[in-house]
Amino acid sequence: MLHFITLVCRLSVCVFRRSVLVAGLGFCMVYSVAADDIAVSEQTFDCILGWPKIRNTRIKNSDPEQLKEAMRIFRDSIPDREYPVGTILQLLPFEAMVKHPRETFPKTNGWEFFALDVSEAGTKIKDRGDNVVNLSLGVPCLSCHQPAARFDFVCEKGHGCAPIPLDDQKIAELQGADPRCSKK
Ligand code: HEC
């Protein structure tokens, strides 16, 4: 009996060690993905009036060097150049594009589209991924942004995308009405 218990104990130590090893490996893998990619949650989004703006678009990246690089690519409309991972673009408070590594969303070169519900309480993610549909137009984000593939799917004006039914003044008004911004 004693022998049997010792055997079970040895086995369980062995199993325990192996699971520690597996857990350790798993942790390393998760950690290395997290180091290269951006983890997006509802807290990622906030009042866009605090973000730098180029023409109509608000741009964010938590790394100041990468933010500078993203702003340069956008401002100069540089073709065939990828935005740095972690870049967030918003034209309207309730829609966003977030840049992941290319392999994460191969169809969009790494961009993830977001449809957001915004209120004074904050941001709720309504839909995300590379198949998000703009509900008011009934059109997938990608179908309009696809023609701008040479500009890393950034439409702006003049990159070949079908226009949205909002002029610059209306876009500015919608940004100014972002309910997440504290009222002065
Ligand atoms: C009808 C076509 C169309 C659809 C559908 C569309 N977009 Fe766009 N999007 C545009 C155009 C055109 C611009 C540039 C507008 C400007 O700067 O005046 C733009 C701009 C943007 C920008 C600012 C960066 C850029 O590409 O210029 C973001 C972010 C964006 N759209 C996200 C989305 C998301 C998310 C969806 C889906 C929920 C979506 N769009 C659906 C046409 C579209």
Between CA 80 and CA 26 the distance in angstroms is 35
Q: Is 141 in the pocket of ligand 1 (CB under 6 A)?
A: yes
- In a structure prediction context, what are the per-residue pLDDT tens digits for the chain, which is 184 residues long? 445 544 544 544 444 455 554 555 554 444 444 457 999 999 999 999 999 999 999 999 999 999 999 999 999 999 999 999 999 999 999 999 999 999 999 999 999 999 999 999 999 999 999 999 998 899 999 999 999 999 999 999 999 999 999 999 999 999 999 999 986 5
Report which ligand 1 atom has the smallest distance to the Cα of 148.
Answer: 26
Tell me how far the alpha carbon of residue 68 lies from the centroid of ligand 1, in angstroms: 22
Residue 182 in domain: no
Q: Is 142 in the pocket of ligand 1 (CB under 6 A)?
A: no
Shared domain for 58 and 15, answered yes or no, is no
Tell me how far the alpha carbon of residue 12 lies from the centroid of ligand 1, in angstroms: 57
The domain total for the chain is 2
Shared domain for 89 and 20, answered yes or no, is no
Shared domain for 99 and 135, answered yes or no, is yes
Closest CA to 127 of 142, 111, 105, 112: 112
Residue 14's domain spans which residues?
1-36
Q: Is 132 in the pocket of ligand 1 (CB under 6 A)?
A: yes
Shared domain for 88 and 126, answered yes or no, is yes
For strands 122-129 and 111-119, give the pairing: antiparallel
Residue 184 in domain: no
Rounded to whole angstroms, the maximal C-alpha distance in the chain is: 84
Residue located nearest, by CA, to atom 37 of ligand 1:
141
Shared domain for 101 and 137, answered yes or no, is yes
Residue 54 in domain: yes
Shared domain for 51 and 131, answered yes or no, is yes
Shared domain for 167 and 153, answered yes or no, is yes
